């Protein structure tokens, strides 16, 4: 009787080949949820351009860029599989964002998710990833609460508001101690009365809470604080509240349309604060300086990226040049973070050697990307618990504070940390004329 072993062997080989083809797909779908319409559409456009550049660098060879993903031409340990981005517009609506996450998971069969910029949308969309048991790698949302939920399928690359607000108060303390280049020490009483205006979603509420905590810790007085709808068509009453408070320092957590409207209104009303600081977001969008022109001179904003970083980090200069050629403007803190967010996805896929969710989770939890690989001014990427309650939060991140100088046509100059300052500080705020 003829042996059955050749048939068995043939079946085994066929199964191995079939399994191998599943383990090494031709493409890996990543769902990207962003605000691509509505008031935040300009922000969404810049974020999309940052992620698309990252995908291009991962999928195609860039021999002049001295970072590993630029040499890969796909994911090496997945047989050169290309990353395919599947975009969804959340419209700034948390419920709609959750629906888009469900659709991407159910219909598009994405390997995982990234986005959503708005912390309120990231909060709801990540719940859907948690339910489905697939990774959500967040590049740019900064509400501290997002990494304090104990989620198993959520990883955040960016620092959150605790870092940035600590930087703000260390910066202000440094001003009174004469540490800032270009100015002499002055009394704390000149900047210690704070008026805080924050948009009224998850992000704004979180920003105000952290400011309140640090103000109490450092001996600053909050003389006015309120939340407002960032879709507001008029902010005159809110601007008057800030002026009537007698505050000498104005602090904002605003998106792009409302940040422009606030500054326009304060200028028209003749406000005269000594210090104006924005919590990134609208204050770093290209439309902010483009629309307001010289009215932005002297405004401070916390940030994570500056084109000036290229002076000390060549890869930041190289990638920013490519981004600007394509988009027409520089990387800013959010678009640069989304570039890094997809870069983290690529490294996780390569480390996992699989698209299996459990393998990816293990890869993310043991991932280390050194500073030389990324365009941000960070020590790198490694997920851990940098603050009490944090889980799967990048513990190697950090922020900077920029000041807008020389507009129109000016630059975002680094003024903090003081040791990395690229220009003398303009202080007090020069005012609006």
| Average pLDDT, rounded, for the chain | 92
Indicate whether 156 and 181 sit together in one domain.
no
The distance between the two most distant Cα atoms of the chain, rounded to a whole number of Å, is 101
Indicate whether 229 and 253 sit together in one domain.
yes
pLDDT at 7 over 70: no
Among left, alpha and beta (phi > 0; psi -120 to 50; other), residue 385 is beta
Indicate whether 180 and 154 sit together in one domain.
no
- pLDDT for 426 equals 95
Would residue 3 count as lying in a domain? Answer: no
- pLDDT for 280 equals 86
Indicate whether 270 and 410 sit together in one domain.
yes
pLDDT band, residue 432 (cuts 50/70/90): confident
pLDDT at 3 over 70: no
CB 355 within 8 A of CB 25: yes
pLDDT at 311 over 90: no
pLDDT at 14 over 70: no
CB 371 within 8 A of CB 380: yes
Indicate whether 243 and 255 sit together in one domain.
yes
Kindly report, residue by residue over 197-214, the tens digit of the pLDDT. Answer: 999 999 999 999 999 999
| C-alpha–C-alpha distance, residues 27 and 46, integer Å | 24
Mean pLDDT of 156-163: 93
Q: Which two tokens stand for residue 338?
A: 């989304």
Would residue 11 count as lying in a domain? Answer: no
Indicate whether 112 and 126 sit together in one domain.
yes
- Enter the pTM of the model: 0.82
- pLDDT for 13 equals 41
- pLDDT for 2 equals 46
| Count of domains for the chain | 2
Q: Which two tokens stand for residue 201?
A: 């979603």
Would residue 19 count as lying in a domain? Answer: no
Would residue 188 count as lying in a domain? Answer: yes
Indicate whether 34 and 157 sit together in one domain.
yes
* Domain at 327, CATH number: 3.40.50.2300
Indicate whether 61 and 181 sit together in one domain.
no
**C-alpha closest to that of 242 among 291, 207, 276:** 276
Would residue 18 count as lying in a domain? Answer: no
Would residue 54 count as lying in a domain? Answer: yes
HSE-CB for 384 with a 13 A CA cutoff = 9
pLDDT at 367 over 90: yes
Indicate whether 412 and 271 sit together in one domain.
yes
Q: Find the domain containing 177 and state its range.
A: 162-310+399-420
Would residue 303 count as lying in a domain? Answer: yes
Mean pLDDT of 1-10: 45
Torsion of CA 125, 128, 132, 137, to 10 degrees: 20
Mean pLDDT of 259-263: 97
- pLDDT for 48 equals 98
Would residue 370 count as lying in a domain? Answer: yes
Indicate whether 197 and 266 sit together in one domain.
yes
Kindly report, residue by residue over 322-353, the tens digit of the pLDDT. Answer: 999 999 999 998 999 999 999 999 999 999 99
Indicate whether 188 and 225 sit together in one domain.
yes
CB 230 within 8 A of CB 254: yes
Mean pLDDT of 60-68: 95
- pLDDT for 10 equals 44
Q: What percent of the chain has pLDDT over 90?
A: 85
Indicate whether 286 and 319 sit together in one domain.
no
């Amino acid at each position: 009787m003829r042996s059955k072993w050749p048939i068995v062997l043939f079946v085994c080989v066929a199964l191995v080949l079939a399994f191998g083809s599943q383990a090494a797909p031709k493409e890996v779908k990543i769902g990207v949820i962003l605000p691509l319409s509505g008031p935040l559409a300009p922000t969404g456009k810049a974020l999309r351009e940052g992620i698309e550049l990252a995908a291009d660098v991962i999928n195609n060879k860039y021999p002049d860029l001295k970072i590993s993903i630029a040499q890969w031409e796909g994911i090496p340990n997945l047989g050169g599989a290309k990353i395919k981005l599947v975009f969804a517009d959340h419209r700034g609506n948390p419920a709609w964002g959750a629906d888009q996450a469900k659709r991407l998971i159910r219909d598009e069969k994405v390997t995982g998710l990234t986005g959503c910029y708005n912390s309120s949308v990231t909060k709801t969309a990540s719940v859907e990833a948690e339910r489905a048991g697939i990774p959500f790698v967040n590049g740019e949302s900064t509400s501290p609460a997002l990494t304090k939920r104990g989620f198993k399928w959520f990883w955040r690359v960016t620092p959150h508001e605790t870092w940035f607000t600590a930087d703000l108060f260390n910066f202000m303390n440094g001003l009174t101690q004469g540490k800032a280049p270009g100015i002499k020490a002055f009394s704390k009483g000149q900047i210690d009365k704070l008026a805080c205006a924050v948009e009224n979603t998850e992000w704004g509420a979180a920003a105000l809470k952290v400011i309140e905590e640090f103000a109490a810790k450092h001996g600053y007085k909050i003389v006015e604080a309120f939340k407002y709808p960032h879709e507001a068509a008029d902010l005159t009453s809110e601007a008057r509240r800030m002026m009537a408070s007698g505050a000498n320092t104005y602090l904002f957590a605003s998106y792009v349309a409302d940040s422009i409207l606030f500054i326009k209104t304060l200028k028209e009303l003749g406000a005269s604060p000594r210090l104006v600081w924005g919590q990134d977001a609208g204050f770093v969008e290209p439309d902010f300086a483009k629309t307001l022109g010289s009215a932005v001179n002297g405004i401070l904003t916390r940030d994570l990226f500056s084109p000036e970083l290229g002076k000390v980090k060549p890869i930041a200069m190289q990638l920013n040049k490519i981004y600007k050629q394509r988009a027409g403007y520089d990387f800013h803190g959010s678009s640069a973070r989304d570039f890094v967010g997809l870069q983290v996805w690529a490294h996780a896929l390569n480390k996992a050697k699989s698209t299996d969710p459990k393998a990816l989770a293990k890869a993310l939890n043991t991932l280390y990307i050194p500073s030389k690989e990324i365009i941000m001014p960070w020590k790198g990427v490694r997920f851990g618990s940098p603050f009490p309650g944090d889980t799967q939060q990048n513990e190697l991140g950090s922020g900077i504070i920029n000041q807008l100088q020389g507009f129109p046509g000016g630059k975002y100059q680094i003024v903090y940390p003081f040791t990395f300052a690229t220009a003398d500080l303009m202080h007090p705020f020069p005012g609006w004329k």
